[in-house]
Amino acid sequence: MKKRPAEKKNTHPEQTKTRASRPRDAAATRRAILDSARRAFARFGYDGVGVRDIAAGAGVTAMLINRYFGSKEELFAEVAVETMATPVILTPEFIASGCPAQTMASALVQLTKPDATPLEGFLIMLRSAASERAAEIGREQIEAHYQKTLSHALRGPHRAERAAVILAMVAGVQMMRQAMGLPALANAKPAALERVLERALGALIDPPE
């Protein structure tokens, strides 16, 4: 029976950036590693990438990752914190807008197009949720930057629960549309999907009764 090295990390050989024109710049190297790690974690999750992949994507050797960040786990933590620090959706501004449900629905449809790359913070967490440490980091970031602000921006009863379900809904859509690639979501006509999401989000944003 044949060996089975199918679906290995080599399946996605990130082009090794040469980076020959900028040697010996600590800050730039650090930045390059962080960027490469952000891309890699968003695509393949915490367990799905090795430090070698990340290093290759940054044009350096794996050793430098430990030199600059101590370990893969600490690198992940720094990436996660950085990526989730500035929410691009689910902000108080969205809630404060004239028709928040429609605005959010439109933004969500745009930002989770199958090939789109924004909303990386959530995607990194969704793809890394199996890792205990990754889930812990993500939970703290979500609570600090999303749950709290969103909850405060709402009016009416059950604010915490409604904010959490809005979060869950956004995460679920992104999960099913981008990570799982469910055809009904991935291939949906944007206008129709927007309409459906607007209705559901409205039921969560508008104060009940």
Contacts to its own copies from residues 144-183, by CB under 8 A: 147, 151, 158, 160-165, 167-173, 175-177, 179-183
Q: Which one among 33, 56, 64, 193 touches its own copies, defined by CB under 8 A? A: 193
The least distance separating DNA from the CB of residue 81, rounded to whole angstroms, comes to 18
Which among its own copies, DNA, none contacts residue 29 (Cβ within 5 to 8 A by kind)? DNA
Q: Is 113 in the site for its own copies (CB under 8 A)?
A: no
x/- letters, 53..82, toward DNA (CB under 7 A) = x-----xxxxxxxxx--xxxx---------
190-195 contact pairs (CB < 8 A, 24+):
190/109, 190/110, 193/109, 194/102, 194/105, 194/106, 194/109, 195/105
Q: Are 75 and 58 in contact (CB under 8 A)?
A: no
Which residue, 35 or 182, is less far from its own copies as judged by CB?
A: 182
Which among DNA, its own copies, none contacts residue 60 (Cβ within 5 to 8 A by kind)? DNA
Q: Is 25 in the site for its own copies (CB under 8 A)?
A: no
Q: Are 131 and 48 in contact (CB under 8 A)?
A: no
Q: Which of 188, 58, 53 is nearest to 114 (CA)?
A: 188
The least distance separating its own copies from the CB of residue 126, rounded to whole angstroms, comes to 7
62-66 contact pairs (CB < 8 A, 24+):
64/29, 64/33, 65/33
Cα–Cα distance measured from residue 173 to residue 81, given in angstroms and rounded to the nearest whole number: 22
Output b/e per residue, 103-140; b: 16+ Cβ within 10 A: bbbbbbbebbeeeeeebbbbbbbbbbbebeebeebbee
Which among its own copies, DNA, none contacts residue 5 (Cβ within 5 to 8 A by kind)? DNA
Which among DNA, its own copies, none contacts residue 126 (Cβ within 5 to 8 A by kind)? its own copies
Q: Which stretch binds DNA (CB under 7 A): 49-57, 84-92, 109-117, 118-126?
A: 49-57
Residues that bind DNA (CB under 7 A): 1-5, 8-10, 23-26, 28-29, 49-53, 59-67, 70-73
